[in-house]
């Protein structure tokens, strides 16, 4: 009996020791290389929020480390779960990594999230999740359908969605009153625009009954929610990546993969039967690619790459921008004057005009800065590189080690943006966005060769909705919404965004 107990106790001790040694194996990594290590370290790594995100926030964990070391050091050694990672504190160094030294940092951590389940076939067709030459090929193929020329030709889709948005708001006001939940409204708009651009269909989100959720939007919401929770799941599994293969972890849901496959097959057939002939949209690009040898699965992969951020990220930017404008009426009025002036001169605003309204662009950039929907980028070192840590120190990073560029923290740092928590579009006057971007301190779309592939699409979508809303309605706040909804990628408004829409001229 006592022998059995002794064996059991020994087993428990040894197991704990093995787990402890495993979790802390790299903890001297930075010290041995002469770099500063962020303290305190626990067996959960530098950012406990990755593993216990119910009680902690990953982004706020990063904030704690950033606040402690920024200004004094250019970078600090951290541990993402148990793996060494360099946190880049100096935006100039971030710019160097993303742009100048890109050939040493070609891959992203998200590319390690795929390939563990053969059925997870669409996520591995997205540049977001791929590496090396395959990334380059997919990026070129996908991006060819999003050129300024193609968007100019497809601009009618955005114009039509804008009109439908105003019609929906009118119906909602008549049926339910002036207060409209604006997160829902934003996603109705992005669902409608993306369904039309990518698949050539009406999502029914703005044309259907007020308040009713159409199948396309519901599926898109389930799909993006599961994609965000997959990011969290895969981040957690950094603690033991071998589990990914063992558990056959997949990124996208099987049910939504099937839905989008069926939708793409139907859309291709319909277009090939002559419906919508001559349209220059993303579907026409996919069909051209299929004629050159792509499979229907390649088309679904590309379609979902555009839809993920075209629906979700752009929708999130839109409702945050409307919320900020509702909180800052003076800025809203100034924006309205600019838009109405442009409309007075032209019957409708062209693709070129919408992209060149200066104050609209300033408000858009300021909203992106405040919300930063993708709050950090993790790049993997792919080729040995020397990094200057300042004060005469440098470090040699070896392939496989990751770095984190904390864009959210730069965007909210008072040292770079005085009164950083306030909505002040004036800071982006006179082309400041590109100056800030070159300094590495304004990265809403990232930077370098892996910069957001859909930047123009996202901009066009958000600006079209804003233009239509602000030229027709005064948008006012009915109650404050706290920040706090943490997707693991950023921090968002937490709760219903009830804004009041008053028709102008009434
Ligand atoms: C306003 C909306 C959007 C925002 C704020 C946004 C932001 C970002 C950011 C921060 C990155 C990471 C860049 C980096 O690592 O340097 C990214 C990458 C990416 N975005 Fe967007 N995005 C938006 C809309 C879109 C849209 C509409 C698409 C559709 C095509 C898209 C497709 C992508 C892809 C494919 C990547 C990965 C690029 C690569 O690794 O080569 N995004 N986006």
In the predicted model, what is the mean pLDDT of residues 371-379? Answer: 96
Residue 487 has pLDDT above 80, yes or no: no
Q: Is the CB of 193 under 6 A from ligand 1?
A: no
Domain count of the fold of the chain: 1
Of the listed ranges 51-65, 102-116, 287-301, 303-317, the least confidently predicted one is: 51-65
Report whether residue 127 contacts ligand 1, using a CB cutoff of 6 Å: yes
From atom 10 of ligand 1, which residue's Cα is the shortest distance away? 445
Choose between 133 and 15: higher pLDDT: 133
Decide if 226 is inside a domain. Answer: yes
Confidence of residue 440 (pLDDT cuts 50, 70, 90): very high
The pLDDT score that the predictor gives to residue 237 is: 86
* pLDDT surpasses 70 at 395: yes
Look at residue 337 and tell me whether its pLDDT is greater than 90.
yes
C-beta neighbour count of 333 within 10 angstroms: 13
Decide: 190 in ligand 1 pocket, CB within 6 A. Answer: no
Share of the chain above pLDDT 70, in %: 98
Residue labelled with tokens 């708001």: 169
CA of 315 to the centre of ligand 1 (A): 13
Q: Is pLDDT of 204 > 70? A: yes
Tell how far the Cα of 178 is from the centroid of ligand 1, in angstroms: 34
Each as own residue / partner, the long-range contacts of residues 328-332 (CB below 8 Å, 24 or more positions apart, any chain) are 328/423, 329/476, 331/363, 331/423, 331/425, 332/470, 332/474, 332/475
pLDDT at 449 over 60: yes
Nearest CA to ligand 1 atom 39: 450
Which residue's CA is the closest to the ligand 1 atom numbered 8?
445
CA distance 113 to 464: 34
In a domain, residue 497? The reply is yes
Q: What is the mean pLDDT of residues 100-123?
A: 93
Instruction: Give the pLDDT of residue 27.
Output: 83
Under 8 Å between Cβ of 108 and 231: no
Nearest atom (ligand 1) to Cα of 130: 40
CB of 199 sitting under 6 A from ligand 1: no
The answer to the question of residue 383 being in a domain is: no
Average pLDDT over residues 381-390: 95
**Ligand 1 centre and the CA of 318: distance in Å?**
15
Q: What is the mean pLDDT of residues 169-188?
A: 98
Q: Strands 83-88 and 402-405: what pairing?
A: parallel
Strand order in the sheet with 75-80: 75-80, 83-88, 402-405, 377-380, 107-108
Relative to the CA of 450, which ligand 1 atom is closest? Answer: 41
40 lies in some domain: no
**Is any atom of ligand 1 closer than 6 Å to the C-beta of 139?**
yes
9 or 89: which carries more pLDDT confidence?
Answer: 89
Beta bridge partners of 395: 387
Domain interval for residue 125:
52-57+103-369+409-439+449-503
Q: What is the rounded CA–CA span in Å between residue 76 and residue 30?
A: 9
307: pLDDT confidence band, cut at 50, 70 and 90? very high
Residue 309 C-alpha to ligand 1 middle, in angstroms? 7
Average pLDDT value over all residues in the chain? 94
Mean pLDDT to the nearest integer, 436-455: 98
pLDDT value, residue 506: 57
Paired tokens of 141: 């193929």
Residue 89 domain flag: no
Q: What is the DSSP string of 207-240?
A: TS-TTPPPHHHHHHHHHHHHHHHHHHHHHHGGGS
Asked whether residue 462 is assigned to any structural domain, the reply reads yes
Predicted pLDDT at 289: 98
Could you report the per-residue pLDDT of 244-261, keeping only the tens digit for each? 988 999 999 999 999 999
Give the pLDDT confidence score for residue 40 in this predicted structure.
65
> From the CA of 74, how far away is ligand 1's center (Å)?
26
Least-confidence region, from 31-45, 153-167, 185-199 = 31-45
**Is pLDDT above 70 for 352?**
yes
Q: What is the CATH number of the domain that holds 297?
A: 1.10.630.10
Statement: residue 424 has pLDDT above 90: yes
316, two tokens: 């999130």
Cβ(406) – ligand 1 distance below 6 Å: no
Classify residue 388 by burial, with Cβ atoms within 10 Å: 0-12, 13-18, 19+: middle
Strand partners, 500: 179, 476
Mean pLDDT within 12-19: 80
Residue 87 lies in a domain: no
Triad 166, 327, 426: Cα angle to 5°: 100
444 CB within 6 A, ligand 1: yes
- Of 102, 106, 309, best ligand 1 pocket probe by most atoms within 8 Å of the beta carbon: 309
Please identify, by atom number, the ligand 1 atom nearest to the C-alpha of residue 448: 16
């Amino acid at each position: 009996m006592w022998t059995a107990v002794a064996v059991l106790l020994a087993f428990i001790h040894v197991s704990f020791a093995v787990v402890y040694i495993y979790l802390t194996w790299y903890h001297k990594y930075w010290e041995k290389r002469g770099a500063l290590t962020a303290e305190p370290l626990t067996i959960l790594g530098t950012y406990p929020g990755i593993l216990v995100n119910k009680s902690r926030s990953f982004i706020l964990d990063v904030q704690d480390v950033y606040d402690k070391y920024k200004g004094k050091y250019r970078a600090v050694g951290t541990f993402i779960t148990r793996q060494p990672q360099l946190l880049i504190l100096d935006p100039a160094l971030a710019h160097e990594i993303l742009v100048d030294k890109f050939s040493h940092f070609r891959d992203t951590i998200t590319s390690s999230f795929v390939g563990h389940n053969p059925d997870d076939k669409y996520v591995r067709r997205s540049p977001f999740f791929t590496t090396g030459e395959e990334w380059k090929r997919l990026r070129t193929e996908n991006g060819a359908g999003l050129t300024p020329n193609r968007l100019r030709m497809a601009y009618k889709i955005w114009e039509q969605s804008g009109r439908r948005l105003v019609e929906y708001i009118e119906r909602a006001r008549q049926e339910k009153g002036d207060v409209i939940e604006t997160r829902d409204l934003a996603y109705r708009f992005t669902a409608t625009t993306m369904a039309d651009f990518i698949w050539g269909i009406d999502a029914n989100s703005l044309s259907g009954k007020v308040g009713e959720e159409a199948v396309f939007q519901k599926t898109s919401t389930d799909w993006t929610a599961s994609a965000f929770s997959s990011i969290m799941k895969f981040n957690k599994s950094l603690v033991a990546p071998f589990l990914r293969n063992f558990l056959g972890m997949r990124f996208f849901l099987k049910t939504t993969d099937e839905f989008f496959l069926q939708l793409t097959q139907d859309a291709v057939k319909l277009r090939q039967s002559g419906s919508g002939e001559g349209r220059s949209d993303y579907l026409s690009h996919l069909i051209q690619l299929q004629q050159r040898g792509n499979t229907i699965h390649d088309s679904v992969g590309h379609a979902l790459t555009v839809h993920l951020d075209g629906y979700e990220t752009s929708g999130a930017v839109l409702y945050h921008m409307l919320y900020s404008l509702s909180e800052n009426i003076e800025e809203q009025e100034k924006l309205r004057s600019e838009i109405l002036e442009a409309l007075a001169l032209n019957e409708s605003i062209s693709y070129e005009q919408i992209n060149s309204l200066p104050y609209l662009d300033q408000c858009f950039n300021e909203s992106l800065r405040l919300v930063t929907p993708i709050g950090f980028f993790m790049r993997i070192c792919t080729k040995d590189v020397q990094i200057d840590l300042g004060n005469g120190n440098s470090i040699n990073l070896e392939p496989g080690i990751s770095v984190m560029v904390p864009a959210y923290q730069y965007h909210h740092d008072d040292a770079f943006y005085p009164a950083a928590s306030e909505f002040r579009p004036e800071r982006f006057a006179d082309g400041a966005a590109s100056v800030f971007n070159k300094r590495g301190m304004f990265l809403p779309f990232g930077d370098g060769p892996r910069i957001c592939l859909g930047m123009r699409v996202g901009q066009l979508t958000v600006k079209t909705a804003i233009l239509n809303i602000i030229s027709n309605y005064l948008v006012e706040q009915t109650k404050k919404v706290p920040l706090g909804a943490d997707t693991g990628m950023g921090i968002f408004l937490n709760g219903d965004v009830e804004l009041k829409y008053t028709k102008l001229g009434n």
